[in-house]
Structure 1
Amino acid sequence: MNITATHINLYHVCRRELWLHANGIRMEHTSDVVAEGKMIGDTSYPERAERYTEIEIDGVKIDFYDARNRVVHEVKKSDSVENAHIAQVKYYLYKLRQHGMEDATGIIEYPKMRQRESVELKEEDITAIKGWESDITDIVSGNTCPPVIHSKLCRRCSYYDFCYVEEESD
């Protein structure tokens, strides 16, 4: 299985969504939240596409890589799942390191909040990432979908109706 940064992000947010996504059940196209996030990413830094490079390594696509300064730039709508964003950027840095691009760092940008988060890959992160990859492989190759997580994030998720189709509303 080719693990992507999306898999890493979903692993840290919802293992059910990870399984559904990896098994071809996609709902993102129905989500206003996803559309808004894409619009923020596309319009917040319009000059970025000219200055930075888009690269793909082992199926992992990094939209904005500053090769001169060795910095991955990742744009996110909000910090509501910041740990997943950090994990995603660490995965980018891990993949870069695997291909000889040492000492790269990352910046997560939250334009609506006017905040930035610096990200570095540490040795202990590499051990954690290998564990994430193993867990992700086990989850997505499983025959059953993981259970609903009942998180406050669920209400805004593009899979909400799918997950709660049989649940009574409040």
Structure 2
Amino acid sequence: MVKYYHTCHRELWFYANQLDVDRTNTGIVHGSRIDDTTYTDGRRRVFVDGAIALDILEDGTIVEVKRSSSLEEPGEWQLKYYLWYLKHEKDLEVAGEMAYPRERKRESIELTAPDEAYLEDIIPLIRGIIQRSTPPEPERKPICESCAYHDFCWV
């Protein structure tokens, strides 16, 4: 949900309130294909407390796989939340890495003290958004045209 907080608050509300998306959406299909076909050697998906789903755990590093770096910031915050969660809820400090297989790019991500403070500030804001009885009003953004929730907002 941290990723959606950084992408679109309305998308966050839809996701958290279990409004399913258009599974034929090009972005969903491509993302699923990348998820199914990359890093298959020794890849281990790890679920923690039903709260986080780690794409890959390899050699003490969490690797978050994304289709593209075009929405780099939301993905990085998602990974930083995973690092924060493991540190504060499980007393585990692990390394983080973003992976963009189509771009053949990987980069290390660190959780800093300011990042931790920021996450602790936005968690109540996220809860506030998802507990609303109705979604936030739509805001036109460049990502809207490729969003799986497009029809919920603009049709």
Smaller-chain TM-score bracket: over 0.9
Query: Residue in 1 aligned with 2:2?
Result: 8
Amino acid at match of 1:95: Y
Q: Is the aligned partner of 1:31 residue 2:21?
A: no
Q: Give the deviation of 1:65 after TM superposition.
A: 1.3
Q: Is the aligned partner of 1:101 residue 2:92?
A: yes
Q: Is the aligned partner of 1:48 residue 2:42?
A: yes
Q: Give the deviation of 1:63 after TM superposition.
A: 2.7
List per-residue Cα deviations over 1:110-149 (Å, max 9, x = no partner).
1111111210111111111111211110001112211112
Q: Is the aligned partner of 1:90 residue 2:80?
A: yes
Q: Give the deviation of 1:15 after TM superposition.
A: 0.3
Provide the C-alpha distance between the structure 1 equivalents of 2:42 and 2:7, rounded to a whole number of angstroms. Answer: 28
Q: Is the aligned partner of 1:124 residue 2:114?
A: yes
> CA RMSD for the aligned pairs?
1.5
List per-residue Cα deviations over 1:15-58 (Å, max 9, x = no partner).
00101111121114231211111111221111032xx4624145
Trace 1:53-68 onto structure 2 (pairs within 5 A).
Answer: 54-57=46-49, 59-66=51-58
Match of 1:19 among 7, 13, 16: 13
Amino acid at match of 2:150: Y
Query: Residue in 2 aligned with 1:168?
Result: none
| Aligned partner of residue 48 in structure 1, secondary structure | coil
Which structure 1 segments of 5+ residues have no match? Answer: 1-6, 166-170
Q: Give the deviation of 1:72 after TM superposition.
A: 0.3
Q: Percent identity?
A: 32
Farther off after superposition, 40-49 or 148-157: 40-49
Provide the C-alpha distance between the structure 2 equivalents of 1:57 and 1:72, rounded to a whole number of angstroms. Answer: 16
* TM-score (norm: length of structure 2): 0.92
Q: Give the deviation of 1:71 after TM superposition.
A: 0.6
Instruction: Return closer, same or farther for 1:121/1:57 CA change in 2, 3 Å cut-off.
Output: farther
Bigger radius of gyration among the two: 1
Provide the C-alpha distance between the structure 1 equivalents of 2:2 and 2:57, rounded to a whole number of angstroms. Answer: 19
List per-residue Cα deviations over 1:76-116 (Å, max 9, x = no partner).
100111000100000110111121112x1111111111111
Query: Residue in 2 aligned with 1:159?
Result: 149
CA contact (8 A) 1:86 1:119 kept: yes
* TM-score (norm: length of structure 1): 0.84
Provide the C-alpha distance between the structure 1 equivalents of 2:54 and 2:9, rounded to a whole number of angstroms. Answer: 23
Moved over 6 A (4+): none
